[in-house]
């Protein structure tokens, strides 16, 4: 047996050991999250007294009225409409703006695009607390405070860096032959992107859309600062108000957990339905 083969064997063993550790850690995280979801769903069907007596028990009787009461007393009906409007409009706007920007950065001068992507990556890492005061001042000056349109504009502006960074990596992984052939036929950059690149990049753009939708659906920090009226509140704000009602009116943990479940179910359904597309888009984009 050659010396090279003997030296490579311990490396393969170490790599296999790390893969086992990583796989075990991933499955433990998955199991923990599934256990949390199961606990939340089970206790949302129990009475407050049952939960207080034994948080880990099963319901003696299914209290489905917890879900009905959580929906009717929390204002979730109006809030869900606001959340759908804000999240869908913001996510679509983010993808429409970040896709051409990411494509240009991926296909133009390599050195300049690397510098631009470095600054974009820095923008992704800036904590929200650092910019919240100047952001509030700008929004107030523009007259967009307590406005769903203002919230949409802020969401689009703050989430563009991540989506541009994600899609630039995805576009770099795509072959250049089709673009070169289209350019020889006289197609401009805009036409190449709209007719060739965008249809081929559907999985990456879908990934960016879903990731933004999931984040925006649960976003509460900016909404709490920029939205001040209950008529314009999003679902996370409605949940905070519902928690305050429960606190001052007597806690009912069954209804509270049902309210949390109402917010989590759409996100969970989206992951179950489109989880494979998210993984495909992330892995392809990480190729280069």
CATH number of the structural domain spanning residue 276: 1.10.3720.10
Q: Indicate the average pLDDT of the chain.
A: 82
pLDDT confidence band for 226 (50 / 70 / 90): very high
Rounded mean pLDDT of 251-269? 85
Q: Is residue 274 part of a domain?
A: yes
Give CA separation, 173 vs 170, 176, 198, in Å.
Answer: 5, 9, 14
189 and 248 assigned to the same domain: yes
User: Out of 59-68, 81-90, 205-214, 268-277, which region has the weakest mean confidence (pLDDT)?
Assistant: 268-277
Q: Using a pLDDT cut of 90, give the percent of the chain over it.
A: 26
13 and 142 assigned to the same domain: no
133 and 187 assigned to the same domain: yes
Residue 225 has pLDDT above 50, yes or no: yes
Q: Is residue 51 part of a domain?
A: no
Residue 287 has pLDDT above 50, yes or no: no
In what helix (H) or strand (E) does residue 216 lie, and over which residues does it extend? helix 202-218
235 and 267 assigned to the same domain: yes
25 and 85 assigned to the same domain: no
Residue 116 near residue 103, CB atoms below 8 Å: no
**Domain enclosing residue 7, as ranges:** 3-43
77 and 219 assigned to the same domain: yes
Residue 257 near residue 66, CB atoms below 8 Å: yes
Q: Is residue 54 part of a domain?
A: no
Q: Give pLDDT, residue 275.
A: 64
- 225: how many CB neighbours lie within 10 A of its CB? 17
Residue 34 has pLDDT above 60, yes or no: yes
Q: Is residue 61 part of a domain?
A: no
Rounded mean pLDDT of 6-35? 74
In what helix (H) or strand (E) does residue 252 lie, and over which residues does it extend? none
Q: Is residue 26 part of a domain?
A: yes
Q: Give pLDDT, residue 288.
A: 47
Q: Give pLDDT, residue 13.
A: 59
pLDDT confidence band for 149 (50 / 70 / 90): very high
pLDDT tens digits, 107-137: 776 777 777 777 777 777 788 888 899 999 9
């Amino acid at each position: 047996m050659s010396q090279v083969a003997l030296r490579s064997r311990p490396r393969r063993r170490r790599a296999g050991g790390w893969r086992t550790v990583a796989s075990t850690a991933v499955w433990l995280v998955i199991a923990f999250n599934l256990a949390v979801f199961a606990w939340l769903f089970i206790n949302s069907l129990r009475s407050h007294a049952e939960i207080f007596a034994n948080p880990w028990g099963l319901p003696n009787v299914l209290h489905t009225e917890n879900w009905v009461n959580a929906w009717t007393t929390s204002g979730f009906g109006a809030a869900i409409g606001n959340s759908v409007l804000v999240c869908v409009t913001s996510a679509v706007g983010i993808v429409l703006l970040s896709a051409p920007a990411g494509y240009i950065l991926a296909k133009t001068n390599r050195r300049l695009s690397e510098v631009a992507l470095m600054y974009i990556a820095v923008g992704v890492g800036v904590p929200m607390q650092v910019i919240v005061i100047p952001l509030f001042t700008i929004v107030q000056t523009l007259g967009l405070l307590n406005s769903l349109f203002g919230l949409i504009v802020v969401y689009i502006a703050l989430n563009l860096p991540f989506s541009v960074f994600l899609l630039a990596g995805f576009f770099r992984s795509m072959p250049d032959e089709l673009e070169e052939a289209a350019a020889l036929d006289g197609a401009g950059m805009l036409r190449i992107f709209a007719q060739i690149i965008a249809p081929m990049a559907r999985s990456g753009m879908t990934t960016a859309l879903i990731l933004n939708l999931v984040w925006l659906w649960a976003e509460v920090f900016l909404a709490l600062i920029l939205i001040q009226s209950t008529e314009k509140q999003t679902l996370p704000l409605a949940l905070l108000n519902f928690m305050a009602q429960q606190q001052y009116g007597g806690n009912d943990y069954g209804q509270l957990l049902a309210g949390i479940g109402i917010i989590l179910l759409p996100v969970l359904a989206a992951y179950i339905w489109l989880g494979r597309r998210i993984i495909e888009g992330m892995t392809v984009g990480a190729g280069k």
